[in-house]
Amino acid sequence: MTDTTTADPGGQAARGGAHPGTRAGAQAGAGPGPGTGMAARQALRRRRDRVRRWSWGIPMWLLALLFLLPFAWMISTSLKPDVEAFRIPMQWIPDEPRWENYTEVLFGESSILIPFGSSVFVATLRVLGELTTATLAGYAFAKLRFPGRGKVFIAYLATSLIPAQLLLVPRFVYFEKLSLYDTLWALILPGMFTVLGTFLMRQYFVSQPDEFAEAARLDGANELQIFFRIYLPNALSMISALAILTFVWSWNDYETPLVFLSTPENYTLPMGLTSFTDENGAMAAGLSMAASVISIVPILLVFLIFQRRFVRAMTESALK
């Protein structure tokens, strides 16, 4: 099944690539197209392109809708009583949408408002801490010479590949001993000082010219002034990219809270989502889905508002 679906778009796109006209249209937003050819031919081509746009666009939109179908199901189920969730045949739009699922999830017995607040708290502190420590350290690794810089950086490089999973046991032991186990600090603290964020910031600052700093030093500026007034303002797009990535990681993290949190009052959102069960201990479909929808909204908003930046963050961290 995968073979047929993939072979076709591959061929289609290659065809698109073979026709400069289509490509020019496709890239109109991104860069200058070739823009040659006579007026009559252009008109003809334009009409042909329009047909092609839609004949290609509609199937792609249908495919996207199919891709997003689980979310449609999630929303649909979030508005149903549990008994209706698995009724055959499936009813996409419930006759009587059960909004009570949402009020129950928000204000009921195991309200997700507290996990929601915990997630906001954890994500905010992680983002603030990460931005502060990673920009300072990344800048130093890129722009300040100091004895031992190379060695420390190699140590960073070596640890950058270590999966957090490997460190769960010792962290668990430390947190236990330091009474941080089962507190939100067990999630926040490791997330404030990361090797990866430092890397991203270092890569960014390396690409910036040294001359600014040299000139400013000759003018008598100190290192903090140089950092805060010259380099930091230019780095805002990269910093916001790192902020977005950190927020998403933090918001969606499930493994760390699963290991480090034990009392439901301390749960962050992903853990909180699992607490909706019926009297038999089975998952309560309607409530779980309503809670899931609520958990997705913030991340979706961040994504839609900062989409450009987000995409840049993803690709830039990819090409680091």
Residue whose tokens read 């997330």: 191
Q: Which is nearer to other proteins, 100 or 258 (CB)?
A: 258
Q: Which is nearer to other proteins, 73 or 108 (CB)?
A: 73
Q: What's the min distance (Å) between Cβ of 296 and other proteins? A: 5
Q: What's the min distance (Å) between Cβ of 233 and other proteins? A: 17
Whether the Cβ atoms of residue 77 and residue 289 lie closer than 8 Å to each other? yes
Give which of 63, 62, 57, 52 is closest to 24, Cα–Cα.
52
Phi then psi for residue 277, to 5 deg, are -125, 155
Q: How far apart are CA 73 and CA 62, in angstroms?
A: 16
Q: Which is nearer to other proteins, 169 or 206 (CB)?
A: 169
Residue 283's beta-bridge partner residues?
Answer: 277
Q: What's the min distance (Å) between Cβ of 117 and other proteins? A: 16
Residue 306, both tokens? 């900062």
Q: What's the min distance (Å) between Cβ of 184 and other proteins? A: 14
Q: What's the min distance (Å) between Cβ of 152 and other proteins? A: 7
Phi/psi region, residue 148 (left: phi>0; alpha: psi -120 to 50; beta: rest), is: left
Q: Burial code of 287-306, b = ≥16 C-beta within 10 A, e = fewer?
A: bbbbbbbbbbebeeebeeeb
Q: What's the min distance (Å) between Cβ of 97 and other proteins? A: 18
Phi then psi for residue 283, to 5 deg, are -65, 130
